[in-house]
């Protein structure tokens, strides 16, 4: 009888231990599920934050490109010779603004591909067949400085175009300061039209820089 009682007691302890182990395993499983859900939620929040930041940056570039899109012309004097300068800028792809929350890969695709296609033509009106032009595909402007730098193998000369809101000529430092201030207003949406551009020209055969002014014609 004593042996039977001991056996029952041992069995009771064993079953109790078994139940405790099962409860502990269930607890761990539930904790892991909660942890996984929280991790997934945290990752989703982080992805949404990154997507929002990228969309803001992309929209600034879209706004900048829309404002400078078009045709500009002006005159440049180099060593007592006068040249006509024509500049045409168009977006590389249609610009569309989105109100829905988008995936990061959608946004990064536009960031990688949205740019300016630029054509610069320089000609001495008094010299027949003196026109030279270059086409730049996929140029991404400096949104912080408000500058479009043309320094590529496609152009034998170097051009720099800066946003400006004045028709008078400024020195380079003042022009750069104005361009930076205007670019901030453009990308914020405060300005939606640019009539003038300041230009800086550097010949392929000289390091001397020449300033000029461009006015929108289209």
* Nearest partner of 201 among 193, 191, 209, judged by Cα: 209
Supply the pLDDT for residue 152.
86
Q: What are the residues facing 121 on neighbouring strands?
A: 86, 133
Residue ranges of domains in the chain: 53-216
The full DSSP string for 55-69 is: HHHHHHHHHHHHHH-
Among the four given CATH numbers 3.30.310, 1.10.238, 2.60.98, 2.40.128, the one describing domain 53-216:
2.40.128
Taking only the tens place, the pLDDT of each residue in 58-95 is: 999 999 999 999 999 999 999 888 999 999 999 999 99
Sign of CA dihedral 154, 155, 156, 162: negative
For 27-42, write each residue's pLDDT tens digit. 556 666 666 777 777 7
What mean pLDDT, rounded, does the chain reach? 86
Q: What is the pTM of this model?
A: 0.80
- pLDDT, tens digit (0-9, with 9 covering 90-100), for 122-135: 999 888 888 889 99
């Amino acid at each position: 009888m004593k042996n039977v009682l001991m056996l029952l007691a041992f069995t009771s302890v064993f079953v109790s231990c078994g139940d405790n182990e099962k409860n502990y395993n269930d607890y761990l499983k539930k904790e892991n599920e909660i942890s996984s859900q929280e991790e997934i939620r945290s990752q989703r929040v982080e992805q949404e934050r990154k997507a929002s930041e990228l969309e803001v940056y992309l929209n600034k570039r879209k706004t900048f490109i829309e404002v400078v899109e078009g045709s500009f012309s002006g005159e440049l004097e180099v060593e007592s010779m006068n040249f006509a300068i024509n500049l045409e800028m168009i977006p590389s792809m249609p610009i569309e603004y989105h109100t829905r929350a988008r995936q990061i890969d959608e946004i990064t695709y536009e960031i990688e591909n949205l740019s300016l296609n630029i054509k610069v033509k320089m000609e001495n009106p008094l010299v027949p067949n003196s026109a030279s032009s270059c086409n730049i595909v996929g140029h991404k402007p400096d949104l912080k400085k408000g500058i479009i730098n043309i320094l590529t193998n496609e152009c034998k000369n170097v051009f720099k175009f800066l946003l400006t809101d004045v028709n008078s000529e400024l020195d380079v430092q003042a022009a750069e300061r104005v361009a930076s201030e205007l670019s901030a207003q453009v990308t914020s949406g405060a300005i939606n039209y640019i009539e003038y551009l300041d230009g800086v020209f550097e010949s392929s055969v000289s390091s001397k820089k020449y300033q000029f002014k461009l006015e929108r014609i289209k």
